[in-house]
Amino acid sequence: MKKLKKFFITAFVSAAFLAVGSGGHAEAVVAEIPVTDIENVCVGNAQDTAAKTGVTVAVFPNGARVGVDISGGGPASRETPVILPTTAPTPVNAIVLAGGSAYGLAAADGVMSCLEEKGIGYDTRVALVPIVVQSDIYDLSYGSSKIRPDAKMGRAACENALRRENFVSGSIGAGTGATVGKICGMARSMKAGLGVYAVKIGDLKMAAIVAVNALGDVYDERTGQKIAGLLTKDRKNFADTREELYKLAVPTDLFRENTTIGMIITNGDFDKTQLTKLAAMTTNAYARSIRPVGTLADGDTVYAASCGAVKADLNMAGTLAAEVMSEAIRRAVLSAKMSDKEYLADCWQPKG
């Protein structure tokens, strides 16, 4: 009888193994790759480091099939209905992640104008219409609440993507103003950021890009250890967001100043319905790595995009997507660490 498949990814080495039983199957190596190794997609960032907000764009020059899963109760998004499995299979030309809450949705205007000038979009015969979907985080309580991503910043991120520059994790792009652990206010929260992780298994390539801006605490799903989130009043130790949540005896408006938004990009050949399922399976990473997650105070969203023709099993791809996303979440937090003095200087605090 064949042994059950066992899968793991570790951040301490650049490769892991998918161990399959000895029934004639070769051992498959899961190796980390740069996200730029995935064909038919280019990614880029733009940000205002003083205002603490930014934009991340994934551009698909030849179009991509895209699905989405929205598990949070307060999303800020644009054009998500166009990628529902019940709508026409219109190719998507860009996915935008940004700060600025609903204000930041203006960034897509700049992405559209950039793509139109490059001849990228859906040809309606009368005009070229780039199909751009977008989700935003609420970062107005960190840095300036008056400066948000706009068309100019969206265009800059799109132009940077088309240059195919190096793409890394950190306080960059949509993660510039990302923070976590805010149930007791910004004074007890921590900095997070944008996380990026990509792997290859055989011919299948997959990347996760995520801006972690959660109400809850963030855990390393491999070890179970908390790595970011709510702090005690003296900021010397971790507190538990769930314990604070359990103290709420009556309905409470926690305000929608949170959201973890991310995307899976793969060269696997999947249609919109399958990609919707792939996005849903990816949200397992949110549940493993963020606690609590998917609340009415979050706008948690995952996009899944296919820009290739590699045949792959959907169950395997969905399982892999959750693992890759968990590692991207971990990197989003660890790559954005800074001193309390630097962080608190830009945090909004209530008057009085």
Per-residue pLDDT of the chain (352 residues; tens, 9 = 90+): 333 333 344 433 333 333 333 344 556 688 999 999 999 999 999 999 999 999 999 999 999 999 999 987 778 899 999 999 999 989 999 999 999 999 999 999 999 999 999 999 999 999 999 999 999 999 999 999 999 999 999 999 999 999 988 888 999 999 999 999 999 899 999 999 999 999 999 999 999 999 999 988 999 999 999 999 999 999 999 999 999 888 876 666 665 567 899 999 999 999 999 999 999 999 999 999 999 887 776 778 999 999 999 999 999 999 999 999 999 999 999 999 999 999 999 998 887 5
**How far is C-alpha 213 from the chain's CA centre?**
10
Q: What sign has the CA pseudo-torsion 183, 185, 190, 191?
A: positive
State the Cα–Cα distance between residues 34 and 336, nearest whole angstrom: 19
State the Cα–Cα distance between residues 97 and 42, nearest whole angstrom: 14
State the Cα–Cα distance between residues 161 and 265, nearest whole angstrom: 15
**How far is C-alpha 119 from the chain's CA centre?**
27
What pLDDT score does 20 carry? 31
Domains along the chain with CATH numbers: 1-32 (no CATH), 33-344 (3.60.70.12)
What pLDDT score does 257 carry? 66
Terminal-to-terminal C-alpha distance of the chain: 68
Q: What angle do helix axes 151-162 and 107-117 make, rounded to 10 degrees? A: 50
State the Cα–Cα distance between residues 336 and 267, nearest whole angstrom: 29
State the Cα–Cα distance between residues 174 and 289, nearest whole angstrom: 19
For residue 312, give Cα distances in angstroms to 15, 26, 38, 200, 264: 20, 16, 15, 12, 15
State the Cα–Cα distance between residues 135 and 222, nearest whole angstrom: 28
Q: Return phi, psi of residue 320, to 5°.
A: -65, -40
CA atoms within 13 A on the CB side of 199: 27
State the Cα–Cα distance between residues 167 and 58, nearest whole angstrom: 11
Q: What sign has the CA pseudo-torsion 181, 182, 188, 190?
A: positive
